[in-house]
Chain A
């Protein structure tokens, strides 16, 4: 399904295909015309994808077919064993986690999980966790700490679920606790923001030593739509809000909210998920390499310093 801003590219692709078809059917030499159009197509692609607006990136971050946590676990890791449940209330399908190997090294992994089709999306609540999801995440943080295995997380959520059930079970409390639990890890922690990094629901599993972000992913305090609904009093102003929030990978790198950007294939990770996942794996290994040799206390202090230094204010 093409995004609105990709339609001119698709239109050109269709015309080229038509011309080729005609050339084949009629035997007329259209080589020159086709070459011309192909050059135009290359330019158009470059122009479009190198100058993506923040709002266009938000759309790419939500594109169907973009790699999810389970896709990454399947392709970049070995022998993933999913572990379920928070041992208190339920298993939350919006957060998955378990044990895996990354290039032969034992790791514990947790991530938001969106559905890959409508039916699965409903079952997974569109990747919006309830308190039990964060409790499951904390249980796995305990596990990582106990065995000394690196803790890796994948972020992809519009936000924690804003509903009655979630409030009744202490959504704010578990998010706070999960932030605290993750900040106290004595093992290397690396986060990759895969798609959407929606507010506290994302941060709850993103208090890592190294926070990486995919080129077209977004991460902010609020979604552009909600921000627009509040500040512009109109959700349709989301493109403006996306601009103002400085939620793109590049902006976040400048603000030091993220430490590195993971490149995506042209047109977004969904265009070539395998390549995107190879890039993710490479970035993860590099981040883990940087943290190798740090003592448990040094890892805690490294994380403390990382977050302690964030913010912009003036001394009197």
Chain B
């Protein structure tokens, strides 16, 4: 599990003090990018193409048709185990809530995507490393059930270090819960598309995220079961170049396509139109 990444949270983008406010710096190539250009380019570096992490609300904005998104996620987390490590879980939750303005690590709702009715769920890496506890699990389960009831496609954008440690076994159970509710979507013959972004690891990859009809991955995203640090400790040697990156997974047959974020909406719409039984022949966008 790549939960260790949870505590090495980087700001999703920019914010470097060395450069003036109007500019941001690419995490990969160091290029100075005009902030407005960076945002218009969906946080992809125009120089080297590096995909920076995209805040959840911007992800919704780039995928949902304008003016169609109705948020449904509003459940609040509890502390069922009274978990305390170096800090109480409740305090960590409060800090994440203050930082993100969200009750937990998921933002979702109903919308149209290229005119196809959909339930769109976006995991928020900025909240506890996008980790899945009871709230994330329940919101995904409800999202799948809503998609089935209302005849909508299901689209989940994953960005997560895995299951949330502070809810322990209950987090683990969310893996089974989310997987099972996908059956409702299957039974109604509705499409489920999973978009894997940097990073997607642990109990999220090993549950709903891996079971979509079509799996798209953003370039260069870290995707896997165990985190690289855990694997390095286990095998005591360096990992091969590009290991667990999207392109590696494509080569090994685990994802359908590696899609540049700047073409993601277009590809998603094409896939949804192909799959959704309610949409007639509709080539292109």
Contact with B along A68-79 (1 / 0, CB 8 A): 000000000000
Contact A175 B224 (CB under 8 A): no
Which residues does chain B contribute within 8 Å of A293, judged by CB atoms?
none
Contact A168 B225 (CB under 8 A): no
With A179-B175, A200-B203: A162-B225 Cβ-Cβ less than 8 Å: yes
Count residues of A near B (Cβ-Cβ below 8 Å).
55
What's the Cα separation between A18 and B85 when bound, in Å? 46
Question: From residue A222, how far is it (CB to closest CB) to chain B in Å?
Answer: 6
With A230-B7, A311-B137: A179-B81 Cβ-Cβ less than 8 Å: no
Spot the interface stretch: B114-122, B146-154, B166-174, B274-282.
B166-174
Which residues does chain B contribute within 8 Å of A313, judged by CB atoms?
75-78, 134-135, 138
Choose one: A203, A222, A255; the contact of B1 (CB below 8 Å).
A222
What's the Cα separation between A184 and B137 when bound, in Å? 19
Which residues does chain B contribute within 8 Å of A16, judged by CB atoms?
none
Which residues does chain B contribute within 8 Å of A175, judged by CB atoms?
206-207, 225
Contact A247 B179 (CB under 8 A): no
Q: Any chain A CB within 8 A of the CB of B34?
A: no
Question: From residue A238, how far is it (CB to closest CB) to chain B in Å?
Answer: 12
Spot the interface stretch: B43-51, B54-62, B236-244, B257-265.
B236-244
A168, A220, A229: residue with the most chain B Cβ atoms closer than 10 Å: A168
Spot the interface stretch: A116-124, A271-279, A302-310.
A302-310
Contact A231 B177 (CB under 8 A): no
Choose one: B133, B137, B168, B173; the contact of A246 (CB below 8 Å).
B168
Q: Any chain B CB within 8 A of the CB of A2?
A: no
- Give chain B's interface secondary structure class: helix
B6, B75, B179, B225: residue with the most chain A Cβ atoms closer than 10 Å: B225
With A162-B231, A179-B207, A183-B179: A220-B168 Cβ-Cβ less than 8 Å: yes
Contact A226 B177 (CB under 8 A): no
Contact A220 B172 (CB under 8 A): yes
Question: From residue A280, how far is it (CB to closest CB) to chain B in Å?
Answer: 21
Question: From residue B129, how far is it (CB to closest CB) to chain A in Å?
Answer: 11
Question: From residue A210, how far is it (CB to closest CB) to chain B in Å?
Answer: 14
Contact B86 A231 (CB under 8 A): yes
With A162-B234, A244-B83: A172-B168 Cβ-Cβ less than 8 Å: no
What's the Cα separation between A203 and B134 when bound, in Å? 16
Contact A257 B180 (CB under 8 A): no
Choose one: A164, A200, A203; the contact of B240 (CB below 8 Å).
A164
What's the Cα separation between A44 and B205 when bound, in Å? 47
Which residues does chain B contribute within 8 Å of A308, judged by CB atoms?
141, 177, 180-181
Q: A200-B202, A200-B203, A311-B177 are in contact. List 7 more A-B contacts (CB 8 A).
A: A163-B231, A172-B209, A172-B224, A173-B210, A175-B206, A230-B6, A244-B85
Q: Which 3 A-B pairs have the closest CB atoms?
A: A162-B226, A311-B134, A312-B80
> Which residues of A come within 8 Å of B, CB atoms?
160-164, 166-173, 175-177, 179-180, 183-184, 199-200, 203-204, 207, 219-222, 226-227, 229-232, 240-241, 244-247, 252, 255, 257, 303-304, 307-308, 310-316
